[in-house]
Chains A and B, each alone.
Chain A
Amino acid sequence: MDVKVKILRYNPEVVDEAEWKTYAVTLQPTDRVLDALHKIKWEQDGTLTFRRSCAHGVCGSDAMRINGRNRLACKTLIKDLNPEKEITVEPIKGLPVLKDLVVDMEPFFDAYRSVMPFLVTSGHEPTRERIQSQADRDRFDDTTKCILCAACTTSCPVFWSDGQYFGPQAIVGAHRFIFDSRDEGTEQRLEILNDKEGVWRCRTTFNCTDACPRGIEVTKAIQEVKRALIFRRV
C-alpha cells in the first residue's frame, strides 16, 4: 500500500527552523514505522537522521512522536495508524532537538542518575546471592521493565513546561529500588523525590502510562512513591 509519511525535519547547519516534509513510500500494512523511516533513508533521502539500535522494542532508542503520540517506531505497525491519512513523525517533545528525530537525552539521563538507580546496601557483601521472596520481587516487577526510551517523560505536560521536573521515568527508576526489599537507599531516594521538582509536580494526566511502550503503569508507580512519602513523613 502507498503511505504518506510527514516528518518534521530539522538541520541546524542549514536552517534555523524545523520544517515538515512529506514522503511517499510503499509498505505492507504489517510494516512498522521504523521500516518506513528506513525506506525513506535508504531509498529517498539519506540525510534523514534518527536513532535506532535493536529495532525490536528492547533498546529504547527510537522513541518518537507518531501521530501526536509518543511511541517506539519499531513497535508501531502501519495498519494501526490509519494509513489512509498522512502519518506524522516528530521528535519527542521537551528535550533539545539536535537533528531531525534525534534529541539530546542528557537532561533525561541526568534526572535518572540523580535518583541513584543502583542497589544501595550496607555491611559486608554476602558470599551468596541476596535472597528475596517471590512476593517481594513482585512488588516492583512492573518498574523493572523500563528501557529508558524517554517516551513517558517527554509525553508529560509538566516536563514540557518545566524541564527541571524529574519526570516520570526518573520516578519509575527510583520506584524500582524503593520497593526492593534488598535495597537500603529508600530514605535517600524518597528525600530526593520529595523535592520541589519531585513527585508532587505530577498532575496524574496519565500521558506517561499511555506512552510507555513496555506497558508500565507509570502513573500508578508515581502515586505509590507519593503514598510511601506520606506514610513515612506524616
Chain B
Amino acid sequence: MSDIAAPRSSSRARNLKGGGRNRSGQTNFELYSWLFMRLSGLALVVLVLGHLFTNLMLGDGINGLDFAFVAGKWASPLWQVWDLLMLWLAMLHGTNGMRTIINDYAEKDQTRFWLKALLLTASIVIVVLGTLVIFTFDPCLDPHSTLSVCQ
C-alpha cells in the first residue's frame, strides 16, 4: 500500500519552514507598525487640535498670525517640542499609511520598490528639514528686524 500524505501541507507552510522566512527571521514589524498607527493617531488628534486652537482661536485668532507670532511661539521649549512631535508623528503616520496603500495597490514588485523609495526619500527630506528649522530658527536673522526680542 502506498503512503498518501494527508493533509497536504501548504506551500506557504513549506516556505515558513525552509528558506528565508524561518521563525527566527520573522519580525514583529507589521505588528508594531499597526500599533503605531493607532497610538500616533490618538496623539495627533490632541496635538493637531491643540495646535489649531492656539493658532486660530486664542488671542487675536487668525488675524494675529504673522512672523512675530511664530517667532514668539518657537521661543518657548513647549511649542518646540509640540511642533517637533507633531511633525514626526504626522510624517511617520502618513508615510506608514502611504506604504500600506502602495502595498495594497501597486501590483508589480518594481513599481512597489520605486514608489516606496520615492516615499522614503520625500519623508526623510521633510522630517530632517522640519527638525532643522524648529531647532535652528532665529527670529533675528534679519539685521533690520523690528521684533521686540531682537531689540
> Looking at the complex, which one of B9, B12, B32, B34 makes contact with A111 (CB distance below 8 Å)?
B12
Say if the beta carbon of B33 comes within 8 Å of chain A. Answer: yes
The 9 closest A-B pairs by CB, nearest first: A114-B10, A114-B12, A113-B10, A200-B30, A114-B13, A200-B34, A110-B10, A233-B28, A161-B104
A163, closest chain B residue (CB) = B107
CB within 8 Å for A198 and B10 given contacts A161-B104, A162-B104, A230-B35: no
CB within 8 Å of B: which residues of A? 110-114, 116, 118, 157-158, 161-162, 166, 191-192, 194-196, 198, 200-201, 203, 226, 229-230, 233-234
A191-B23, A234-B35 given; A198·B30 CB < 8 A: yes
**Closest B residue, CB atoms, query A202:** B34
Nearest-neighbor residue (CB-CB) of B13 within chain A: A114
* Cβ-defined contact, B31 with A234, below 8 A: yes
Most chain A beta-carbon neighbours within 10 Å: one of B8, B29, B104: B104
A60 to B107, CA, bound (A): 30
Please give the distance in Å from B7's CB to the nearest CB on chain A.
6
User: B1-58: which have CB < 8 Å to A?
Assistant: 7-13, 16, 21, 23, 26, 28-35
Known: A161-B104, A161-B107. A110 touches B11 (CB 8 A): yes
Return B33 CB to nearest CB of chain A, in Å: 7
CA–CA, A203 to B103, complex, Å? Answer: 12
Contact residue range for chain B? 20 to 34
Contact B10 A194 (CB under 8 A): no
User: What distance in Å separates the Cβ of A33 from its nearest Cβ neighbour in chain B?
Assistant: 31
List B residues at the A interface (Cβ < 8 Å): 7-13, 16, 21, 23, 26, 28-35, 103-105, 107
20 contacts between A and B (CB under 8 A): A112-B10, A113-B12, A114-B12, A161-B105, A162-B103, A192-B16, A194-B30, A195-B16, A195-B26, A195-B30, A196-B29, A198-B30, A200-B30, A200-B34, A201-B103, A201-B104, A203-B104, A229-B31, A230-B31, A234-B35
Q: State the Cβ distance, A224 to closest chain B Cβ, in Å.
A: 14
CA distance A169 to B16 in the complex (A): 19
Q: State in angstroms the CA–CA spacing of A191 and B28 once bound together.
A: 9
Tell me what chain A mostly uses at the interface: helix, strand, loop, or mixed. helix
Which of B29, B31, B35, B105 has its CB near the most chain A CB atoms (within 10 A)? B31
Give every chain B residue within 8 A of A162 (Cβ-Cβ).
103-104, 107
- Known contacts: A191-B23, A194-B26. The answer to whether A200 contacts B31 by CB under 8 A is yes
- Could you say which residues of chain B place their CB within 8 Å of the CB of A191? 23, 26
- Complex CA gap A191/B29 in Å reads 12
CA distance A3 to B89 in the complex (A): 56
Q: In the complex the two chains form, what is the Cα distance from A201 to B28 in whole Å? A: 13
Complex CA–CA separation, A157 to B101 (angstroms): 12
Contact of B9 (CB < 8 Å), options: A113, A192, A194: A113
